[in-house]
Structure formats: C-alpha cells, structure tokens
Structure 1
Amino acid sequence: MKEDIIRTAADMFLTFGFKSVTMDEIANKMGISKKTIYANFSTKTKLVQATTIYILKSIEQGIENIKARENNPIVELYEIKKFVMNHLKDEKSSPQYQLNKYYPKVYQEVQENHSEMMHCSLADNLKKGIDDGLYSVLHTRRIY
C-alpha cells in the first residue's frame, strides 16, 4: 500500500504541484481513506519526502538504463534529456518552485542529490566522448 500511495502522490505532485495536491485528493484518487495515508505517512511533508526520493530513484534508474545502451555520447545526452523531460511531465504548475517554497528542507536534499547525480553522469559522458574522439579538449585562458 505504501508504494501505491507514493506512486500515486508522485504522479499527482508532478502534474499539479506539491502544494496544490491535498491528502484528500490523493485518497480520493486511490479510493482509500485519508486515514490510510496517514497510517503510512504521519504528515504530508513525510509523503512529499518519500515521493521525491522515489522520483529521483526512478530518474536515476532511467539514466542508468540509457547509459547501459552504450550509445554515442551525444545521442546519450539527448536521450537522457528526453527521458527526464518526459518523466517530469514538462510540468506547468512548477512543482519544483512549490517544493522550494513550501518544503525547503526536502528541496535542498533534492538539489544536492540531483547535482551529484548530474555531475557524475556528465563527467562519464564527457570522458566517453573524449575517448571516442567526439569531443575535443579545448584549453581556454581566463581573462580577468
């Protein structure tokens, strides 16, 4: 039940925003009582935290699956971007903005995890592209 709640809440949060979706709406969509949700998550903040972890893990797994195909690094970057945009639904209600505004601690955790994941993925892609001769190393001089 807990996983079903997380999946449903994640879908709704990404579609409508973290602040906009109520526990009543999640319960109604699932056909369960709000009490059942609170039996698994004592607060909405705890549900938001669990859903963001779920979303990040899903994105991370998707990126790993794309990298495992061992495509050309340029194609890989394009596929990763397309996957992330589809996974996050090109949201119109800006769940990221709402997460930052109403759940700043969760937002900070997401940003740290996201930055680390993207840094590693990009570093791997650059190394592969340089090794394959698709990217060249340019030396630049900073002008102060």
Structure 2
Amino acid sequence: MDVKERILTECDTLFCRYGIKSVTMDDIARHLGISKKTIYQHFKDKSDLVYQLIDNRLQSQMCIIDENSQVATNAVEEIYLSVTQMQHLLSNTHVMLFYDLQKYHPDAWLLFKRFREKCLYDKVYANLERGIKEGYFRTEMNLEIITMMRVEQIDVAFNQSLHPDSKHSVLQVMVELTEHYLYGICNAKGYKMIEKLKQNTEANKLQ
C-alpha cells in the first residue's frame, strides 16, 4: 500500500467514525504519524482528499453492485444482497458523515449525486427488468417511473437535511424504504421469495 492509498484508507476510517467536519488535517497527520506536508504532496486540500475518497468509495460500490447482480439467484435476492451490504457499510458510519459531505464538500456530494442519478438508475432499471422476466415483479409497472421513485428513496435516506431531527439512522430509513419498495413491485411469487429471504436472514442472525 503506497502513501496516498494509506492516507485514503485511514481517512475513510476516521470520517466514518467521527464525521468529516470534526476531523482536521492535523488529526489526520497525527493519526497516520506523518507530517501535513506529506499529505499535501498527494492532496491539494481537505476537499480534494474527500473528493478522491468518495470517488474511490463509489468505484468500489459499483463493483459490489455488479457482483451482487451476478451472485444473486434472482432479482429479489439481488436487492436483499444490496441491503445487507449497505447494512455493513452504514453500521460503521457516523451519523453526520453524509450531512457534512453535502454541506461542506459540494464537489464530492455532486459526485455522489451523479453516481446516484446515472449508475444507480441503470442498475435499478436492470433489476426491475430482471424481476419481471423471472416472474417475481408485477408486469404492469412503468419502469421509468418506478426507477425514478427508487432512486429518490435512496436520496431521501442519505439526505439528512430532509430529516435533520429524525431519531432514525440512515440505515433504518434505508431498510424501511427498501421493504416498502419491494412489497410494491412484487407479485404473489415475489412475496413468497421475500418471506423466504426474511426467514433465512433471521436464521443467520441466530447462528
């Protein structure tokens, strides 16, 4: 692992633990045991560091989404795998991280928005097509409208300025919205698959 990669990896940990705003460049240097000069050799400023970190995160997320699509035996399971992965990601993420990103690092937030609007849109649409083809999703849906709705749901979950006083975490909001979404797009066969996956999830928790 080279110096730049190490800085990004450790900053990812720090930002997830404490949020972005509260972590200074001095904190980063002290945590890594290096000088700020070394950090500035790789990043223009904190905003540049955050931007590159988010860019790396989104590229990794895209690989995970692609892998979920390939590993899942059906479209319903593909959504469940994505939520499971999201639970792992968000369980170690400070509640203020996305708020800090949106308020103090607009370029990085714009990168996140573009990813959501283009990459996620395409993946959600493809999942809907897959579910219909496999016989789990309702056939009479307008896929463009449902895809836009799902992408907006994701935005609602991550955009904490929309619910600043909420007692619910991003993860709780995401899980609840996903279940609502699934029951809206599935047919009877899909409902059975949801219940099967729920039972498997609960069984795994008990092991």
Asked if these proteins are the same fold (TM beyond 0.5), I'd say yes
Using the TM superposition, give the Cα deviation of residue 3 of structure 1 relative to its aligned residue in structure 2, in angstroms.
Answer: 1.1
Distance 2:119 2:87 in 1: 16
Deviations 1:106-126 (CA, angstroms, capped at 9, x unpaired) = 212211112222111111111
One-letter code aligned to 2:100: Q
Deviations 1:5-52 (CA, angstroms, capped at 9, x unpaired) = 111112221222111111122222222122111111121111010001
Query: Is the aligned partner of 1:106 residue 2:108?
Result: yes
- Hey, what does 1:60 align to over in structure 2? 62
One-letter code aligned to 2:128: L
Using the TM superposition, give the Cα deviation of residue 2 of structure 1 relative to its aligned residue in structure 2, in angstroms.
Answer: 0.8
For the residue of structure 1 that corresponds to 2:41, the secondary structure is helix
Distance 1:83 1:74 in 2: 14
Distance 1:139 1:48 in 2: 39
Runs of 4+ displaced beyond 3 Å: none
Distance 1:101 1:107 in 2: 8
- Hey, what does 2:73 align to over in structure 1? 71
- Hey, what does 1:116 align to over in structure 2? 118
Distance 2:55 2:141 in 1: 38
Q: Which has the higher contact order (CA 8 A, sep 6+)?
A: 1
Unaligned runs of 5+ in 2: 143-207
Using the TM superposition, give the Cα deviation of residue 139 of structure 1 relative to its aligned residue in structure 2, in angstroms.
Answer: 5.3
Describe how 1:37-56 pairs up with structure 2 within 5 A. 37-56=39-58
Using the TM superposition, give the Cα deviation of residue 137 of structure 1 relative to its aligned residue in structure 2, in angstroms.
Answer: 1.5
- Hey, what does 1:134 align to over in structure 2? 136
Query: Is the aligned partner of 1:11 residue 2:13?
Result: yes
Query: Is the aligned partner of 1:94 residue 2:99?
Result: no
TM-score, normalization by structure 2: 0.63
For the residue of structure 2 that corresponds to 1:41, the secondary structure is coil
One-letter code aligned to 1:71: T
Using the TM superposition, give the Cα deviation of residue 90 of structure 1 relative to its aligned residue in structure 2, in angstroms.
Answer: 5.5
Using the TM superposition, give the Cα deviation of residue 135 of structure 1 relative to its aligned residue in structure 2, in angstroms.
Answer: 0.7
Unaligned runs of 5+ in 1: none
Q: Contact conserved, 1:15 with 1:93, CA < 8 A, in 2?
A: no
1:81 maps to which of 64, 80, 83? 83
For the residue of structure 2 that corresponds to 1:64, the secondary structure is helix
Q: Where is the helix percentage greater, Structure 1 or Structure 2?
A: 2
Distance 1:88 1:56 in 2: 14
